[in-house]
Amino acid sequence: MSLSLFVSGTDTGIGKTHAACTLIHALRGAGHSACGMKPVASGCIDTAHGLRNEDALALQAASAPSPAYEDINPVALLAPLSPHLAAAHEGVTITLPPLHAAFQKLVACYDTVVVEGVGGWRVPLSPSLLASDIPKAWTLPVVLVVGLRLGCLNHALLSAEAIQADGCRLVGWIGNCIDPAMAAIEENIATLRALLPAPCLGILPHGVSPDRAWSRLDLAALQF
């Protein structure tokens, strides 16, 4: 496949990392070397090895072979805030060059790098930088993770509209069942299939780990 991807989401807390890890397992299952990357992460834990982020560690664990943590997560921030606020609290300015340098190290070693964004498409990283600037600058096709809950239709359609308006290619979407009690879930999924301008790569069930759920993804549906 030899092509990297950017994973965005309809909101914070909708399972981008879960979907990204599942995507990595699916790529590995198809015979590709694949790793994850979380260029910017806030809400890290201070450990003996430095700041560590739960999502970045999950991406590292899903990757094979396992890359260095610093390459997966070059900007780790302590406060569980929007990255631009967490960075300001620590006197850090987030810029693209250090992120791209880490990305290039991973690209040199893997067929595919699955780059996970932070929050939704428009999350600010600094006063002059947005999360969406990463896939724009690196020319990455985008996979949108839709958290299946009440309100997801509006969030998904607005996100898809913004991705395309920024000149990025939306190559697929993944539905993640974060609310197992969601009413009319199949009808909502059918609406998303009809209205989103990219194919559904799969629907991830609630409570199934990425190493077991990956076979539910259809990589052949990716519109490269």
- The model's pLDDT over 181-205, given as tens digits with 9 standing for 90+, comes to 999 999 999 999 999 999 999 999 9
157, burial (CB in 10 Å: exposed 0-12, middle 13-18, buried 19+): middle
Provide the pLDDT for residue 224: 67
Q: What is the pLDDT of residues 127-173, one digit of tens each?
A: 999 999 999 999 999 999 999 999 999 999 999 999 999 999 999 99
Let me know if residue 85 belongs to a domain. Answer: no
User: Are residues 149 and 178 in contact, defined by beta-carbon separation less than 8 angstroms?
Assistant: yes
Q: Show which residues are catalytic.
A: 38
Which residues, including other chains, have CB under 8 Å from residue 61's CB and lie 6 or more apart? 21
In a domain, residue 188? The reply is yes
Neighbour count for residue 106 (Cβ, 10 Å): 21
pTM exceeds 0.85 for this model: yes
Residue 17: closest CA among 133, 134, 130, 145:
145
Summarize the confidence of residues 37-56 as an average pLDDT. 97
Mean pLDDT value of segment 29-38: 96
Q: Where are the beta strands (DSSP E) in the chain?
A: 5-9, 34-37, 40-41, 45-47, 50-52, 75-76, 112-116, 124-126, 129-130, 142-147, 170-176, 200-204
From residue 78, alpha-carbon distances to 10, 56, 86, 106, 134 in Å are: 24, 13, 7, 24, 21
Residues 58-103: pLDDT tens digits?
999 999 999 999 999 999 999 999 999 999 999 999 999 999 999 9
The answer to whether residue 22 sits within a structural domain is yes
CA angle 111, 112, 116 (to 5 degrees): 160
- Model confidence band, residue 3 (pLDDT cutoffs 50, 70, 90): confident
Q: Write down how long the chain is.
A: 224
Residue 112 falls inside a structural domain: yes
> Is residue 63 a part of any domain in this protein?
no
**What per-residue confidence (pLDDT) applies to 68?**
96
Model confidence at 1, in pLDDT bands (50, 70, 90)?
very low
Alpha carbon separation from 144 to 47, 75, 118, 156, 218 (Å, rounded): 32, 23, 12, 8, 14
- Output the CA–CA distances (angstroms, integers) from residue 85 to 43, 94, 150, in the order listed: 11, 11, 28
Residue 137 is predicted with a pLDDT of: 97
Give domain status of residue 80, yes or no. Answer: no
CATH number for the domain that contains residue 122:
3.40.50.300
Which domain range does residue 118 map to? 5-34+96-221
| Positive/negative CA dihedral, 63, 64, 68, 71 | negative
Mean of all residue pLDDT scores within the chain? 96
Percentage of the chain beyond pLDDT 90 is 97
Is residue 197, in this structure, part of any structural domain at all?
yes
- Quote the tokens at residue 19: 């979907």
* CA distance readout (Å), 67 to 24, 95, 104: 13, 22, 13
Given a cut of 90, whether residue 222 has pLDDT beyond it is no
Residue 158 counted as domain residue: yes
Structural domain tally of the chain? 1
CA dist., res. 90 & res. 126, Å (int): 12
Query: Which residues does residue 41 pair with via DSSP β-bridges, in sequence order?
Result: 76
